[in-house]
Amino acid sequence: MQTKTFHHYLHETPHSNQFLRTLQPLTFEDGYILSIQMSKVAYCIPRENIDDLTMYTHAEIAISYKDLGFVHAGDGAVSKALADRLEEFRNGTVYFTVPVDLIQEVFEEMAHIHKLNPEHL
């Protein structure tokens, strides 16, 4: 059985439009949230709105935890090794223009450690 990519779980928010598209965050059972954004206003490649999300090679991500807001990936969201690999893309608590294969690793590790909420399944 092939593992679903993070693309499978992403859906536009109700307030998205042709100028500003936002994707609903992925939530995990223990309170972590993974936001993956791909649009003409996000730090992604290409930097435009494309219906087929698999056409993006890079995307913008952010991780938040419960009421703490955005957190660094190395603060328990993912392993230290994976957080170290994300470091070159970090700008504060947002990670800019991250390759989608690395985002897939983040998604898979977070789903394994923190358990993706059933609402996404």
Interval 19-67: pLDDT, tens: 789 999 999 999 999 999 999 999 999 999 999 999 999 999 999 999 9
pLDDT at 121 (0 to 100): 73
pTM above 0.85, yes or no: yes
Give the containing element (helix H, strand E) for 102: helix 100-114
Q: Is 101 helix (H, G, I), strand (E, B) or coil?
A: helix
pLDDT at 2 (0 to 100): 45
Residue 53 has which token pair? Answer: 């999300």
Residue 115 has pLDDT above 90, yes or no: yes
Q: Are strands 90-91 and 94-99 parallel, antiparallel or unpaired?
A: antiparallel
Q: Kindly indicate the confidence band of residue 3, based on its pLDDT and cuts at 50, 70 and 90.
A: low
Q: Sort residue 90 into left (φ over 0), alpha (ψ -120 to 50) or beta.
A: beta
